[in-house]
Structure 1
């Protein structure tokens, strides 16, 4: 990962919270060519030591290379967007603000029981805030029996972690405020999320990206 010094993030808690807040990752594996799949990835543990897990469909080309000990890369992407230099007090160069976490991992195939537990956790995380949640235990047994043989779960043990957040650090308060204002004026969910990230980075010390209840 390209990490200019002023944008590099080293705080383990920041990285841990970032992964929890942005669970839809790009899973990259080297096969007959470089292969990538976009999948939800969950995290287990704490900021100082954690493991990641997910699953892919068995008809996915990556399955042939999904083996114990294989290396892979997980990319977690935060909000991002174009920042026009016309928003600054003085003329400057336009840029793109963004944040991301890269995790290099070693893979381990899950057992059938581990896969089921992983799926229960996955459904729980994303269903619990629904008006009428449908949990894993509520899915018809026959449907589960038909579906489970079609996917493979795996653990991802991190061995290298890198993070970057390019969010207008080092700019004057007036310029930062104008960037935030223009992003908010776009009334776009991505731009709104990016504006919040920029404010969090420039106005306060580290604030968790998600609540402690997550």
Structure 2
């Protein structure tokens, strides 16, 4: 990922926080079948390995897991808030007009090779943890144990799990840091005034810079 130094996220806890805050990741591999990509919910164990270890699963019918089994390196993309930045947001536009549109965003890329597994007990632990994460906060959280055991057994036979120690992490937080303070404030205020929730989320991030 092209990342000028002033946009780089360098601290491991911040990189991991973006991963933890992304509900659906994009996992990309390149192997005998060419490029393949799957959108997957993942779990991160921050204490396992120097950068953490990611856990997830594929449908067994999805051939991409075979690329992982064959040793293909995976790229996992964790996209955060993003927003279009109009030249009209910059006060300096009135002075010289030398601005073009751009896009502000946050993203983390994780790289590594995975261990693939089909052990039923291990898969049950994984899907239970994923379920608990995303059911938390609901008035009546659903649990895997709510479904008949024989039904869950059949579902587990239809998936393939993986554990992927993160070997390399890249992070980018592009929030107009390369602009002067007046223009940064103009972008932040312009996005905060937008009715779009994505724009407002990005403006909120800029307040923390």
Structure-2-length-normalised TM-score = 0.89
SS of residue matched to 2:46: strand
Encode CA deviations 1:8-37: one digit per residue, 9 max, x unaligned.
111011001111011311101113110001
RMSD over equivalenced CA pairs, Å: 1.7
**Range with bigger deviation, 92-101 or 67-76:** 67-76
Cα distance between partner residues in 2 of 1:43 and 1:194: 24
In structure 2, the partner of 1:60 is: 62
Match of 1:171 among 165, 173, 179: 179
In structure 2, the partner of 1:24 is: 24
Any conservation in 2 of the 1:68–1:108 contact (CA below 8 Å)?
no
In structure 2, the partner of 1:139 is: 147
SS of residue matched to 1:78: strand
Any conservation in 2 of the 1:16–1:46 contact (CA below 8 Å)?
no
Structure-1-length-normalised TM-score = 0.87
Name the larger-Rg structure: 2
Any conservation in 1 of the 2:51–2:165 contact (CA below 8 Å)?
no
Tell me if 1:87 matches 2:106: no
Encode CA deviations 1:158-199: one digit per residue, 9 max, x unaligned.
111111111111433332233222222222222121111121
Superposed structure 1 runs of 4+ greater than 3 Å apart? 46-49
Gaps of 5+ in 2: 94-98
In structure 1, the partner of 2:135 is: 127
Matched pairs, number: 201
Tell me if 1:157 matches 2:162: no
Any conservation in 2 of the 1:25–1:38 contact (CA below 8 Å)?
yes
In structure 2, the partner of 1:100 is: 107
Gaps of 5+ in 1: 202-214
